[in-house]
């Protein structure tokens, strides 16, 4: 890889086009190619029929235009003979008494291959069948062009040192089965689409959805580049739309309707794409109709910086979709709990309410499950269990929240029971060690289990996905329940779910929920400080949850190495955490993740809500005594 972490740099170029003036188009093309070379781009793609312009109409039948197009390609070949960047240009190519709408792959003075368009539109504003034949009408595998014998056909895949790519042209993407589907199955990592898609109201959004969906369906990178300023406006307008996507996510786009030439650069994450394909049992190289592989020996200078952004919070939905996603997650949690409640014929739901984020989210899910099943909210039994570290703030929030939501409220102190237990096992009450802490956690779990027995209830677990990853739970204490509604929700997402709920509940609940959001994360197992405030803050002990969730996502979703994750974290959290801090907590994450698997191996049932999950019955099967990677 030109970037040691598995990124390849690609670009889409939209020059100002001159209708039927091929040499001017060639000069504009070369200018953008040279800019791409300076950016260390491996492959740059230009619009459909960019050598002549797309809107030449019956001029495509004129020998002068076809000759000029070939001369323009020759000019680009000569002008880029010393350029390592691979160049994809569009031009009409005449062969065996047929004219084809083609993409030409140029590299260092050679035409590496020519890919004709497969699906030729001939409806509404499009009349391409008047001029062009389909790739399916071509029997020959070689074509003479610019004095070279060139591989010709839609069955070409181009291999560079770092990745493989395929090409489709405009309408091909809109077909029921786009050529890119087969190209991906044949091994193409990235698909380039040379297009000339005109603008009508609503089309840009639909086109973007097509690109994103096709990149997701093919688990590929997708570079779409369409004709822009200069195309004939006789009947149509072209906006120079560029869309770069990777497995359903948009990486970059152009400024539509710009009057200036544009070069859009980004990187495709090859290791990420290949990790997705490796895990997808339906994705395999289909060799029933093997495609021809064309090797390109290009060397592009390495790069360290990235044009694309690394999301520091991969579990948090984008702002414009946050409410929709949060509501869906809550619906998944509620549906899972409601089904379990219905199946077990339990009378009640029993859970501990600490005044913290996790138990608050679990309570909200229980209340919504009540409403879904049309049960009285009093069937939810919330129990606050003050201990040695409970502060007034969390204690009062727990009481206020239960009252505001209309559930059954109980208060059972664990202090006397814990003191008796210390006496029974001869533990010094002033020795605030793991025994001191876990005694309280297990006493609380015993209370919940016994109250559930009394009321024919289910104990609802409140622990989240991040705590499961780190093993931040007391074995046979808060690690255990009868159904863990938060098991699929990472800590960084819990906050957004509670915030979303705060905006959709009554005023009394909203006030309490907002204060819960401002409360530091803590198990409150150690005595409060002199001012009565929380002394034991989780993130001071195990590290920032936003870092751990980042580590967890890239470890489980893509199987990246520690070194790769550290590199990505440095980019994602630039200006927030320095390299030493990232390294420290990354080592902590891997150490705890490997050591604490035994807690996950016997974790209770709970609903999966996202692409990353730790259920030993589903997404994550790991030996409890695996060696921790250094």
Residue 179: what are its φ and ψ, rounded to 5°? -55, -30
DSSP assignment of 227-260, as one string?
--TTS--SS--B---EEEEETTEEEEE--TT-SS
Sign of dihedral through CA atoms 364, 366, 371, 375? Answer: negative
CA–CA separation, 369 and 108 (whole Å): 65
- Quote the longest CA-to-CA distance of the chain: 101
Reported for 617-620, long-range contacts at CB under 8 A and 24+ positions apart, including other chains, are: 619/556, 620/556
- Is residue 138 part of the annotated active site? The answer reads no
List the catalytic residue out of 93, 102, 170, 366. 170
Task: Please check whether residue 185 is in contact with residue 177, taking contact to mean a CB–CB distance below 8 angstroms.
Answer: no
- Is residue 117 part of the annotated active site? The answer reads yes
DSSP assignment of 465-499, as one string?
HHHHHHT-S-TTTTT--SEETTTT--HHHHHHHHH
CA–CA separation, 599 and 470 (whole Å): 10
Burial class (CB in 10 A: 0-12, 13-18, 19+), 627: exposed
Reduced 3-state DSSP string for 121-185: CCCCCCCHHHCCECHHHCCCCEEEECCEEEEECCCEEEECCCCEEEEEECHHHHCCCCHHHHHHH
Residue 449 token pair: 């289990």
Task: Please check whether residue 351 is in contact with residue 359, taking contact to mean a CB–CB distance below 8 angstroms.
Answer: yes
CA–CA separation, 136 and 129 (whole Å): 13
> H or E element: which one contains 335?
helix 322-344
CB-based burial, 460-477: b 16+ in 10 Å, e otherwise = bbbbbbbbbbbbbbbeeb
List the catalytic residue out of 56, 93, 102, 117. 117
DSSP secondary structure code for residue 305 in this structure: -
Burial class (CB in 10 A: 0-12, 13-18, 19+), 483: buried
CA–CA separation, 404 and 511 (whole Å): 10
Q: Which residues are catalytic?
A: 48, 117, 170
């Amino acid at each position: 890889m030109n970037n040691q972490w598995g990124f390849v740099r690609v670009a889409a170029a939209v020059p100002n086009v001159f209708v039927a003036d091929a040499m001017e188009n060639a000069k504009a093309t070369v200018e953008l190619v040279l800019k791409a070379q300076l950016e260390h781009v491996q492959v740059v793609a230009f619009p459909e029929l960019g050598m002549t312009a797309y809107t030449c109409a019956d001029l495509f039948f004129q020998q002068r235009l076809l000759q000029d197009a070939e001369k323009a390609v020759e000019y680009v070949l000569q002008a880029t003979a010393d350029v390592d960047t691979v160049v994809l240009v569009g031009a009409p190519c005449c062969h065996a008494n047929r004219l084809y709408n083609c993409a030409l792959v140029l590299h260092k003075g050679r035409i590496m291959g020519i890919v004709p368009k497969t699906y030729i539109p001939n409806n509404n504003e499009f009349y391409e069948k008047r001029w062009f034949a389909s790739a399916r009408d071509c029997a020959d595998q070689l074509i003479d062009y610019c004095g070279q014998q060139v591989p010709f056909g839609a069955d070409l895949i181009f291999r560079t040192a770092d990745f493989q790519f395929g090409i489709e042209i405009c309408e091909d993407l809109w077909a029921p089965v786009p050529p890119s589907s087969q190209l991906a199955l044949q091994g193409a990592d990235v698909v380039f689409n040379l297009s000339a898609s005109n603008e009508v109201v609503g089309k840009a959004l639909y086109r973007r959805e097509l690109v994103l969906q096709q990149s997701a369906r093919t688990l590929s990178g997708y570079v779409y580049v369409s004709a822009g300023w200069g195309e004939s406006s006789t009947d149509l307008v072209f906006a120079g739309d560029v869309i770069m996507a990777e497995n359903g996510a948009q990486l970059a786009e152009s400024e539509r309707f710009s009057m200036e030439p544009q070069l859009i650069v980004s990187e495709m994450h090859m290791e990420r794409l290949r990790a997705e394909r490796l895990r997808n049992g339906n994705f395999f190289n289909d060799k029933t109709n093997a495609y021809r592989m064309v090797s390109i020996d290009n060397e592009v200078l390495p790069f360290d910086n990235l044009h694309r952004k690394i999301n520091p919070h991969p579990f948090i939905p984008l702002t414009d979709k946050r409410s929709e996603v949060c509501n869906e997650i809550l619906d998944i949690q509620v549906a899972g709990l409601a089904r379990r409640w219905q199946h077990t014929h339990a009378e009640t739901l029993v859970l501990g309410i600490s005044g913290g984020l996790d138990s608050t989210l679990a309570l909200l899910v229980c209340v919504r499950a009540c409403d879904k099943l049309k049960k009285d909210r009093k069937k939810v039994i919330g129990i606050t269990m003050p201990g040695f570290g409970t502060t007034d703030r969390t204690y009062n929030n727990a009481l206020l929240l239960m009252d505001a939501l209309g559930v059954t409220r109980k208060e059972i102190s664990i202090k006397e029971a814990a003191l008796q237990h210390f006496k029974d096992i001869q533990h010094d009450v002033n020795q605030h060690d793991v025994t001191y802490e876990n005694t309280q956690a297990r006493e609380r779990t015993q209370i919940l289990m016994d109250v559930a027995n009394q009321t024919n209830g289910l104990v609802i677990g409140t622990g989240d996905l991040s705590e499961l990853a780190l093993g931040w739970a007391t074995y046979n204490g808060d690690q255990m329940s009868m159904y863990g509604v938060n098991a699929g929700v990472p800590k960084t997402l819990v906050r957004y779910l509670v915030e979303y709920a705060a905006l959709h509940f009554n005023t009394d609940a909203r006030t309490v929920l907002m204060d819960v959001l401002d409360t530091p994360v803590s198990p409150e197992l150690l005595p409060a400080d002199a001012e009565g405030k929380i002394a034991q803050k989780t993130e001071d002990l195990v590290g920032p949850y936003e870092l751990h969730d980042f580590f967890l996502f890239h470890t489980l979703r893509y199987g990246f190495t520690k070194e790769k994750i550290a590199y990505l974290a440095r980019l994602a959290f630039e200006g927030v955490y320095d390299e030493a801090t990232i390294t420290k907590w990354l080592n902590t994450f891997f150490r705890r993740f490997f050591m604490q698997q035994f807690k996950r191996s016997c974790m209770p049932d709970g609903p999966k809500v996202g692409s990353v999950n730790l259920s030993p019955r589903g997404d994550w099967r790991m030996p409890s005594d695996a060696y921790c990677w250094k």
